[in-house]
Structure 1
């Protein structure tokens, strides 16, 4: 019996990136389907989050995400460009956000086709894996192709069906909060949320209790 779960994911979240490849490996090894549920990052949902956070927060987060990547052997680098347009000095988030709105709508369009998780991993490897100008040229077209998708089709849908996609993205966040959490990455399995890239083994343990089988 195929087990199912939802992964709440942000394309701007380094920890989402550090989890998605490991969840992809799980669906390839086990009789398991994980549906991607993209959400807007904190910088969109709470624009003042970075301005009011503790001064040590940013430095520690960079230290931690680098060592997590090293520990798991995951390629990692600062996004070029950052999916969020933000003043580095003041941490103020700009009103106009072309990168994150496009990539999140693309992710939701991919999720509609049942290929969101793979697309998120492929795109994440560009954004957080060191690709310069990940939003330009044929980078995203290649990511879409590797996920079995067509970027031109996704981009057209992201424009033509913008309002419906953004409603679905907002619904994803509402579903996450109703399930008992608010942050990403969070895997939701049978109503139980597992927040963070450090809860993947625990999520697998729970699934094994529910009969998770290798393919």
Structure 2
């Protein structure tokens, strides 16, 4: 039986996006199941942890570091995306209640995971959003992304219209908290959390200790 790596992930997190190539490689190299556990972005879920208008240093650092990290990894990257999956005033850092994009994206991720394609859909859609595609929400961009992951967007949308996906997202957020962290991406294996795109190499080391290399 494959080792399950619960991977807490956000459609707006630059580091979640930058982790995708290494997560895909991890799945290829080891007998593991990367179980995508979608959570709401921290700007919606817990904005006080990062988005304090009285202290912009965390936001400014993340924006600078993510751009630098993308250059280091040679991954296409643009922030903020157009449109940003979280509607937010980047001057006041306020987040309005009306959010036309992020809830649908998160629900799609949950449904894809239920069909065994969570990581694949996350890879395809995050490439659109963070990789620099203008108007990624328009036209057939999302349809083609879903198709590249072996999924049908119409079927996914029909499923999330009738499902309990928000409840599962809340469960994922509670599980992330129980695992001992709040940020994404956080990978958890055998109750041990590994936070950050730059900790996947440490996770590999742990998997080697388990003797899981294929």
Q: Which residue number in structure 2 is paired with residue 64 of structure 1?
A: 65
Q: Which residue number in structure 1 is paired with residue 17 of structure 2?
A: 17
Post-superposition offset of 1:24: 1.0
CA distance in 1, matches of 2:15, 2:54: 18
Alignment of 1:78-97 (within 5 A): 78=79, 79-97=81-99
Alignment of 1:49-60 (within 5 A): 49-52=50-53, 54-60=55-61
Deviations 1:87-112 (A, max 9, x none): 12211101101100010000001011
Q: Which residue number in structure 2 is paired with residue 193 of structure 1?
A: 193
Post-superposition offset of 1:207: 0.7
Are 1:166 and 2:179 matched, yes or no?
Answer: no
Alignment of 1:121-140 (within 5 A): 121-140=123-142
Post-superposition offset of 1:181: 1.2
Alignment of 1:171-190 (within 5 A): 171-190=171-190
Q: Which residue number in structure 2 is paired with residue 40 of structure 1?
A: 40
CA distance in 2, matches of 1:213, 1:58: 37
CA contact (8 A) 2:53 2:93 kept: no
- Provide the TM-score with structure 2 as the length reference: 0.94
Q: Secondary structure at the match of 1:51?
A: coil
Q: Which residue number in structure 2 is paired with residue 112 of structure 1?
A: 114
Q: Secondary structure at the match of 2:101?
A: helix
CA distance in 2, matches of 1:117, 1:41: 17
Deviations 1:110-146 (A, max 9, x none): 0111110111011110010001111111111111111
Post-superposition offset of 1:52: 4.1
Unaligned runs of 5+ residues in structure 2 are: none
Unaligned runs of 5+ residues in structure 1 are: none
CA contact (8 A) 1:51 1:92 kept: no
